[in-house]
Structure 1
Amino acid sequence: MQAHEPRGLREIDDELWVAEDGLRYVVEMGRRMTVIRLPSGELFVHSPMPLDDELRVQLAELGAVRFVLPASNLHGHLRMGDYRVAYPDAQLFAVAGLADKRSDLDFDGELPDDADPGWSDVLEWEVLRGVPKITEVVFFHRPTRTLVVGDTCFNISPDAPLATRVWAWGPRMRRRAGPPPLFRAAVRDKSAARDSVNQILEWDFDRVIVGHGEIIEADGHEAFRSAWSWL
């Protein structure tokens, strides 16, 4: 996905929506927010994007925003303050290392220590360990068999700009879903990362909502396994 203007929420499954926006970090790569409606009717917002009037109205139509989380200490936290102001009753969760980085925000909890039972009925989660500079939490939405990630798995289209493909795929220019070269280089403990990946692969997911690129709508379990088979 290579959008340059924000796009509104679109439903991709029961109780599951995404919104997409442009993002340039070294290269143009786009970004994606995921919204899940919990059994309570409240909303779980992952990697919040800019809160414009259209998005605010759409969220209000779906339910009350209850939980707001980034994908990692690098991905999806820049707009969390907007949601704190707009939704004072919502709970903001950090990942390890983010609270020090975002001292301007008053977090209600931190993963992995403070998993909230408000989402545990339908969501499982796992920290990808062994990557000390990037603390990413991967979520699994059981009802729709959907994995939700940030930077652990890109899926850049062959139609993306050349610079984006080179950055995401590496110098061999072989298309694949997976972490970009810079993320792979950040792995310091392959054994710990492998244990985390194996735990994620215990989940019965088929779809993968990636933070950057095209959603993997089918065979996502095999795509994710293949993406991390280099460990």
Structure 2
Amino acid sequence: MPKAKLWGINGFDQKRKDLPWQCFVTGINWPYNDELIALPLDGMPKVNECLFLHKPSKTLFVTDLCFNILDSKGIGAWLIYSLFGTNQRFATSKFFVRAVTDKAAFQASLDKLFKHDFDNLVPCHGSVITGNAKALLRDALKERGFAVQGQLGSTQLKTSEFAPMPANPF
């Protein structure tokens, strides 16, 4: 694809100097906002997460903001995901929120996100959520200390919606 452009997020050109970056997603310069909104998460420069919201399908695409690992197997997965606080459930990782260095900027990014309408969520880590994703994400963030303002009331995560916790392998 000779006319293809390689887009990245701010700072990624320093991490991957071997790639020919042409454009950087800032949320302002993203030319596809009419259909696919770019929503950078500020306040965590070491992570530089950028979310994408596909407006027609009301689907939010995330990288590390949340996990939905429902089918992990083995002691290694159990250990790591348990440390993250994401084992066998939808959640925001404990380690992810530790990367937030400017809580006010991160909170402002979350407030912008929750002004948008989304029902579905596609995480890079785990199973797709179809329906009720906005309320589930709000509760996951609340569990990690971030109160999000928005149109939906809080809903409780119901354990029946998720796979049961596996027995301790030790």
Asked if TM exceeds 0.5, the reply is yes
- With the length of structure 1 as denominator, give the TM-score of the two structures: 0.57
Helix, strand or coil for the counterpart of 2:38?
Answer: strand
Aligned to 1:10: none
Poorly superposed stretches of 4+, deviation over 4 Å: 171-175
Distance 2:18 2:72 in 1: 39
- Alpha-carbon spacing, 1:108–1:173, altered in 2? closer, same or farther (3 Å): closer
- Structure with the bigger percentage of strand: 1
Equivalent position SS for 1:121: coil
The 8 Å contact of residues 146 and 207 in structure 1, kept in 2 or not, is answered as: yes
Aligned-partner residue type, residue 104 of structure 1: D
1:163-174 → structure 2 map (5 Å cutoff):
163-170=76-83
Shift of 1:159: 4.5
Q: 2:29 aligns with which of 115, 120, 124?
A: 115
Instruction: Name the TM-score, length of structure 2 as normaliser.
Output: 0.75
For the 8 Å contact 1:154–1:168, the answer to whether it is kept is no
Give the structure 1 partner of residue 38 of structure 2.
125
Residues 169 and 180, structure 1, Cα contact 8 Å, conserved in 2: no
Q: Alpha-carbon deviation of 1:162?
A: 4.1
From the superposition, tell whether residues 106 and 159 of structure 1 become closer, same or farther in structure 2 (CA, over 3 Å): closer
Q: Report whether the alignment pairs 1:89 with 2:3.
A: yes
Aligned to 1:155: 68
Structure 1 spans left out of the alignment, 5+ residues: 1-86
> Are the counterparts in 1 of residues 64 and 123 from structure 2 also a CA contact under 8 Å?
yes
Deviations along 1:191-221, one digit per CA (max 9) or x if unpaired, are 2111111111111101000001111112100
Give the match's secondary structure for 2:40.
strand
Provide the rounded CA distance (Å) in 2 between the counterparts of 1:88 and 1:223. 41
Report the counterpart of residue 210 of structure 1 in structure 2. Answer: 123
SS state of the match for residue 39, structure 2? strand
Distance 1:126 1:186 in 2: 18
Is 1:104 aligned to 2:11, yes or no?
Answer: no
RMSD of Structure 2 on Structure 1 (CA): 2.1
How many residue pairs were aligned? 144
CA 1:115–1:121 in 2, change beyond 3 Å: closer, same or farther? same
- SS of structure 1 residue aligned to 2:6: strand
Say whether the 8 Å CA contact 1:176–1:227 is kept in structure 2: no
CA distance in 1, matches of 2:86, 2:121: 22
Q: Which residue of 2 aligns with 1:80?
A: none
* Equivalent AA in structure 1 for residue 124 of structure 2: G
Amino acid at match of 1:190: K
Deviations 1:35-56 (A, max 9, x none): xxxxxxxxxxxxxxxxxxxxxx
**Sequence identity, in percent?**
30
The SS at the match of 2:109 is: helix
Does the aligned pair in 2 maintain the 1:166–1:173 contact within 8 Å?
Answer: no
Alpha-carbon spacing, 1:162–1:175, altered in 2? closer, same or farther (3 Å): same
Q: Summarize the Cα distance change of 1:165–1:196 in structure 2 as closer, same or farther, 3 Å threshold.
A: farther
